[in-house]
Structure 1
Amino acid sequence: MNILLARSAGFCFGVKRATRMAFEAAESHDGICSLGPIIHSPQLVKKLEEKGVVVVDRVNEIPEGAVIIRSHGVTSGELKEINDRHLEVVDATCPFVKSAQDHAALLSREGYAVVLVGEREHPEVQGILSYAESGDVFVVGAAAEAEAISRRKRLGLIAQTTQSFETFRQVAAICLDKCQELRIFNTICDATSVRQDEAQEIAHRSDLVLVIGGFNSANTSRLAQICADIQPRTQHIETAEQLRKEWFEGVETVGITAGASTPRWLIDEVILGVQKISN
């Protein structure tokens, strides 16, 4: 079988930075916590746990000492709690996420109702929302949801960094009819757009597409959906152990891509697994 691997498959800049900071912090501290998983890769989080990085869900669960802020960032309230306790902070928040937080705060201060294109329950979205201090915020996950936005004089539009640009564009078009003034900040990370474009190209050229990454990873799940819309024979997996021989029946070309939180060693293991099945 021919294997097509997406050029940008795997870690993006923000994730590389966050994981490097987390492993360095583990080496330099005798025990340290991460407020939420550092990235959405259970396998990498396990490796960090083996290095002494304990994942906690709430600030009050952090013992005295140091805390790592995950790549998705934290809410403004959580950050205040951390600062009030005078904890040492290793801030691994992705700079693109931080930019979205700053734009939410700016729009809110300047009197715009904020429209955030994203998944309401995702930790990155929860963090961004917390910086829109006016509280006049709409979260929409799809263009159809934007139709329910009530008319406002001024709307400000931003996005979760891993959102689809096409969805963002569609929501922007709807918002134009909902207000007198629309201010847009495209806060979608460039790495997201590149990975989505590559996924579409590979899906068109493949008989089977494997998308590697955490099942709890929003950007990986979105890649899987993009591929499935083009090539129904798309499988979202986390590890090589999840490969099934029956998927490869009649397959000549296998396309492989991976989410921005997927370590390279997991990708290499899947490629090896595909080669074994092929042989």
Structure 2
Amino acid sequence: MFKEVILAENAGFCFGVKRAVDTSTEAKKSSEDNIYTFGPLVHNKNVINKLSAEGINEVNDSSLVKVGKGDTIVIRSHGVAPQVMDKIKGTGAQVIDATCPYVSAIHKNIKKYYDLGYQIVIVGDEKHPEVIGSNGWCNNTAIITRDGSEIDITADKVCIVAQTTEKISNLEKVKDLVSKQCKDLVTFNTICSATKERQKSAEETSKLVDVMLVVGSKTSSNTTKLYEICKVNCDNTFFIDNSNEIPMWIMESENVKKVGVTAGASTPDWIIQGVLDKLYGNMEK
């Protein structure tokens, strides 16, 4: 039986994701036409399945042909490249831009410094939709790196930005490496405040507990980083999608007294609450 269950602060939906989900559901309520999101709205199958049940489905670059003029396309919080936006608008559908303001700020910085002749460096995952979209704002010429390993800068002027969910340690590492390879370096810490706070509280909580549960999808970049951070401090850190994936031995062990919980920016409240309810049911009376 547990003595304490600690929910880390700032766990769950961030502002940008909540805004995109709310925007999509409100659009569906006010329209009988098709509502699409460009790509999966969030990296969480539980949310995607719920949206699909409500009649909100996704389209991508290759399936835009099925979109009609009376339909609506919601741009997810990750944002898109300007060329992609033009293609989406070319369908004639109504476009609702739910790009996270933090991401939009990255786009503006990239375009500004690219136009000034700077080599753009993006610290992040080259396969992540946010990074793919951001790269489009410098005509897909950015150098993309996770931690600066094997990075080789030949340009004199460099501008560094980061994926909004990147670890601050990776940004600092790249900044230090690039500063030794160019004459003019401009760095923007574009990791969003919610990400920083979520990572900090997860790190602090993981130092206090016997077991740490990180709730979210393994396809979620920010949730994966939470897992990596917590694992450093707590060997018994587990990456779970929902309450059904809580390891049974945790519930039965006499040595587990404190359990910590955090969740990624794409994990909805109802999934987090399901995990907490199961843990609370195993607490000492």
Same fold (TM over 0.5): yes
Q: Within 2, Cα distance between the matches of 1:54 and 1:15? A: 16
Q: Within 2, Cα distance between the matches of 1:67 and 1:85? A: 10
The one-letter amino acid paired with 2:93 is: L
Which residue number in structure 2 is paired with residue 76 of structure 1?
Answer: 82
Structure 1 spans left out of the alignment, 5+ residues: none
Kept after mapping to 1: 8 A contact 2:135/2:141:
no
After TM superposition, give the deviation of residue 61 of structure 1 in Å. Answer: 4.2
Alpha-carbon displacement from aligned partner over 1:82-102 (angstroms, at most 9, x marks no partner) = 122222011111111111122
Q: Within 2, Cα distance between the matches of 1:139 and 1:62? A: 33
Kept after mapping to 2: 8 A contact 1:37/1:45:
yes
Q: Within 1, Cα distance between the matches of 2:72 and 2:24? A: 11
Q: Does 1:8 find its partner at 2:13?
A: no
The one-letter amino acid paired with 2:97 is: D
Alpha-carbon displacement from aligned partner over 1:144-178 (angstroms, at most 9, x marks no partner) = x2x42233210100000000111101111111101
Kept after mapping to 2: 8 A contact 1:207/1:252:
yes
Identity %: 33
Q: Within 2, Cα distance between the matches of 1:245 and 1:61? A: 47
Superposition pairs of residues 16-165 of structure 1, within 5 angstroms: 16-30=18-32, 31-58=34-61, 60-64=64-68, 65-133=71-139, 135-143=140-148, 145=149, 147-165=150-168
Q: Within 2, Cα distance between the matches of 1:122 and 1:103? A: 19
TM-score of the pair, normalised by structure 2: 0.93
Kept after mapping to 1: 8 A contact 2:122/2:160:
yes
After TM superposition, give the deviation of residue 142 of structure 1 in Å. Answer: 1.3
After TM superposition, give the deviation of residue 277 of structure 1 in Å. Answer: 4.0
Kept after mapping to 1: 8 A contact 2:7/2:261:
yes
Paired positions, count: 276
The one-letter amino acid paired with 1:175 is: V
Q: Within 1, Cα distance between the matches of 2:40 and 2:141? A: 29
* RMSD between aligned residues: 1.4
Q: Secondary structure, in 3 states, of the residue corresponding to 2:67?
A: coil
Match of 1:178 among 177, 181, 202: 181
Match of 1:203 among 184, 203, 206: 206
Change (3 A) 1:61 1:235: farther
Alpha-carbon displacement from aligned partner over 1:53-87 (angstroms, at most 9, x marks no partner) = 11122252441121111111122221010122222
Kept after mapping to 1: 8 A contact 2:214/2:226:
yes
